[in-house]
């Protein structure tokens, strides 16, 4: 036999046996492996901590092996004999804790149903073989080594040598205090003579009825493994879906279940159940078809609303079809599992429709807001108007940023975002400039108010500093702001005020020096129109006294000095008048004007 074909048959056999065995122990994960040595070996493994019933496992395997397709078992039996050895082992352990041997009759495995109804060729002796004796001392694994792949308890691929790595069966019988003695049993399956008599009688009846093969079709005599297997496939399909497995595998199981149910003939007592089961399967498969179409359409998240509405409709139709499966149907559990998935996907479709609608609304709002921002930007003059345009652009951008990635509006939102951001930056720069202009303009006005107040207090030096600050602030107003012209007007005014203050400050300094040169000579008052100088009484008395005495005594030198002093004082006052550009009036201590000076006089 070809090695590759043999391994394929063994894997298929193991899969089919596991499918029949697992539903009997749903709480315990079971692994089934098949190997071929001098006989067929079947190993069942399970995780530690919870063990299945060995007798139930072996009985299920016996029944399942007898029901295997002959295209799987006949070549193996023909090549290696009819003995089958069954083992039950804990994952990670080297020894099995239970084993069982059965005998298959080759003639039965290779039995051609058509030969039953050919009397001229019928030889009962060919169909009833001599019972095969079983040697219970035969070792379980003394055959040539065979490398077989399996899964260890951690789920990783492991390699067992010597047909699953089982030790010699003699070790199984040892009195091991740490292990339970294995369960051994050997059973031979032969066909009893009454079977052929019964078959012969039935065959005669069938021949009379004109149907040669009715009794050889599935589910005619005894149970109906095909229907049971179809129901098992439905359960497995639900489990595949529940565990997040392949949807293709789940659908394949349903299709195979449909085929098995459809193969049950009308004369079977299970035909009605099979047809009802098949009808529900058709509904389920129709729902699955719609679900597959909806799933395919939903692969792209960013889709127009109309596409998502089509997907939504498909999910609703699939739900309606799956909800029609009644509670008493074998498909009810599967339907409930699928309905959970359908409803979740319908909810997702609903959410995508809402997301698309929300995104479109925000995109439209952003465009309308941007139009308003354009108008405000084009008409803005004052700072408050530029700030209003700036905030409007920001609102438009905020609407764009709230458009979810994964919607059809997102790409357009990103393109608009770049344009809107540039315009927001431009408006923001202008608003900042106008804000700065307003700030320094206000500073200039404040400084000018302070300078005027200082002048009123005759604090001209401090007034000069204030006017300098006011002029500097006015010069900081940007040239292209709305306050540029007003700032130019302020600078012209402030420049004149600064010059005046500087002049008055110099006059005051000069007068202060003159009036206090030799004691208290005079007091002064400075206005924009006139400078008033008043000699102090003490100064007048001193000059009069000194002059009178000098004149009385004939002290010419002292008189000369007095005249020279008065002439120098007059020259100093004239210089102050000329430098200030303001007329000067001179008063005695009695507040009588004794002289006047004009600039340049």
For residue range 28-47, list pLDDT tens digits in order.
888 999 998 888 899 999 88
CA 74 to chain centre: 56
CA 314 to chain centre: 26
What is residue 378's predicted lDDT score, i.e. its pLDDT?
93
Asked whether residue 531 carries a pLDDT value surpassing 70, the answer given is yes
Q: Which of 292-301, 354-363, 402-411 has the lowest mean pLDDT?
A: 292-301
The band of 448, judged by pLDDT with boundaries at 50, 70 and 90, is very high
Asked whether residue 428 carries a pLDDT value surpassing 90, the answer given is yes
Decide which of 121 and 393 is more confident.
Answer: 393
Contact call for residues 36 and 80 (beta carbons, < 8 A): yes
* Rounded mean pLDDT, 164-186: 40
Encode pLDDT of 270-286 as tens digits: 898 888 888 888 888 88
* Rounded mean pLDDT, 123-133: 32
Decide which of 366 and 221 is more confident.
Answer: 366
Cα–Cα distance between 162 and 139 in angstroms, integer? 13
Asked whether residue 180 carries a pLDDT value surpassing 80, the answer given is no
Asked whether residue 67 carries a pLDDT value surpassing 50, the answer given is yes
As a dihedral over the C-alpha atoms of residue 484, residue 486, residue 491, residue 494, rounded to 10 degrees, the angle is -160
CA 596 to chain centre: 93
Q: Which strand (E) or helix (H) includes residue 222?
A: none
Asked whether residue 456 carries a pLDDT value surpassing 60, the answer given is yes
Closest CA to 157 of 276, 31, 262: 31
Closest CA to 376 of 364, 392, 395: 392
* Rounded mean pLDDT, 304-322: 93
CATH class of 438-506: mainly alpha
- Neighbouring CB atoms inside 10 A of 169's CB total 21
What is residue 3's predicted lDDT score, i.e. its pLDDT?
80
CA 61 to chain centre: 49
Asked whether residue 116 carries a pLDDT value surpassing 70, the answer given is no
Average pLDDT, the chain: 78
Contact call for residues 261 and 284 (beta carbons, < 8 A): no
Residue ranges covered by each domain of the chain: 3-191, 217-370, 371-426, 438-506, 516-597
Task: Tell me the β-bridge partners of 32.
Answer: 44
- Strand duo 40-46 + 593-597: pairing: unpaired
CA 255 to chain centre: 37
Kindly report the length of the chain. 601
The band of 231, judged by pLDDT with boundaries at 50, 70 and 90, is confident
Asked whether residue 266 carries a pLDDT value surpassing 70, the answer given is yes
Asked whether residue 175 carries a pLDDT value surpassing 60, the answer given is no
Closest CA to 311 of 326, 292, 329, 325: 292
What is residue 178's predicted lDDT score, i.e. its pLDDT?
33
* Rounded mean pLDDT, 478-501: 89
- DSSP letter at 97 equals S
Q: Which of 128-142, 255-269, 371-385, 464-478 has the lowest mean pLDDT?
A: 128-142
Q: Tokens 């008409």 belong to which residue?
A: 379
Contact call for residues 167 and 94 (beta carbons, < 8 A): yes
What is residue 346's predicted lDDT score, i.e. its pLDDT?
94
Residue 112 gets the label, from left (phi > 0), alpha (psi -120 to 50) or beta, of: beta
């Amino acid at each position: 036999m070809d090695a590759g074909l043999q391994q394929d048959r063994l894997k298929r056999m193991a899969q089919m046996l596991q499918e029949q065995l697992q539903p009997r122990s749903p709480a315990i994960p079971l692994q089934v492996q098949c190997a071929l040595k001098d006989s067929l070996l079947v190993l069942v493994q399970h995780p530690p901590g919870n063990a299945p019933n060995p007798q139930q496992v072996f009985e299920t395997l016996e029944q399942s092996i007898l029901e295997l397709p002959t295209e799987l078992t006949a070549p193996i039996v023909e090549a290696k004999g009819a003995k089958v050895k069954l083992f039950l082992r804990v994952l990670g352990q080297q020894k099995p804790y239970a084993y069982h041997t059965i005998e298959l009759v080759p003639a039965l495995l290779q039995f051609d149903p058509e030969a039953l109804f050919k009397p001229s060729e019928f030889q009962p002796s060919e169909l009833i073989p001599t019972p095969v004796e079983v040697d219970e001392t035969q070792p379980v694994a003394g055959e040539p080594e065979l490398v077989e792949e399996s899964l260890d308890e951690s789920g990783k691929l492991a390699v067992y040598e010597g047909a699953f790595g089982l030790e010699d069966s003699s070790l199984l019988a040892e009195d091991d205090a740490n292990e339970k003695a294995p369960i051994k049993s050997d059973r031979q399956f032969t066909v009893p003579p009454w079977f052929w008599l019964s078959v012969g009688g039935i065959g005669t009846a069938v021949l009379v009825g004109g149907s040669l093969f009715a009794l050889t079709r599935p589910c005619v005599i005894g149970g109906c493994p095909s229907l049971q297997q179809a129901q098992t496939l439905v359960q497995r399909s639900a489990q595949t879906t529940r565990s997040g497995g392949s949807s293709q595998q789940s659908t394949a199981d349903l299709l195979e279940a449909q085929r098995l149910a459809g193969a049950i003939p009308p004369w079977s007592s299970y035909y009605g159940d099979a047809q009802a089961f098949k009808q529900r399967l058709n509904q389920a498969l129709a729902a699955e078809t719609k679900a597959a179409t909806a799933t395919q359409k939903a692969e792209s998240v960013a889709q127009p609303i109309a596409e998502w509405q089509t997907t939504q409709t498909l999910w609703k139709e699939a739900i309606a079809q799956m909800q029609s499966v009644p509670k008493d149907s074998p498909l009810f559990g599967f339907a409930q599992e699928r309905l959970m998935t359908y409803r979740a996907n319908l909810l997702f479709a609903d959410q995508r429709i809402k997301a698309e609608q929300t995104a479109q609304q925000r995109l439209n709002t952003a465009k309308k807001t941007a139009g308003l921002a354009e108008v405000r930007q084009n008409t803005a003059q004052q700072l408050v108007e530029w700030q209003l345009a700036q905030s409007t652009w920001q609102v438009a951008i905020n609407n764009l940023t709230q458009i979810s990635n994964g919607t059809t509006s997102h790409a357009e939102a990103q393109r608009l975002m770049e344009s809107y951001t540039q315009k927001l930056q431009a408006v923001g720069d202008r608003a900042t400039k106008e804000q700065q202009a307003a700030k320094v303009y206000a500073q200039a006005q404040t400084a000018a108010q302070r300078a005027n107040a200082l002048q009123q207090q005759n604090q001209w030096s401090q007034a000069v500093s204030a006017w300098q600050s006011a002029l500097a602030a006015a010069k900081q107003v940007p040239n292209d702001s709305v306050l540029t012209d007003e700032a130019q007007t302020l600078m012209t005014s402030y420049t004149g005020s600064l010059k005046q203050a500087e002049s008055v400050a110099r006059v005051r300094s000069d007068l202060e020096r003159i009036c206090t040169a030799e004691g208290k000579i005079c007091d002064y008052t400075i206005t924009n129109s006139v400078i008033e100088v008043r000699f102090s009484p003490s100064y007048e008395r001193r000059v009069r006294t000194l002059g009178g005495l000098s004149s009385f005594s004939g002290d010419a030198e002292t008189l000369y000095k007095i005249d020279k002093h008065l002439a120098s004082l007059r020259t100093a006052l004239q210089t102050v008048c000329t430098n200030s550009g303001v007329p000067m009036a001179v008063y005695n201590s009695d507040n009588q004007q004794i002289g006047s000076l004009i600039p340049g006089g």
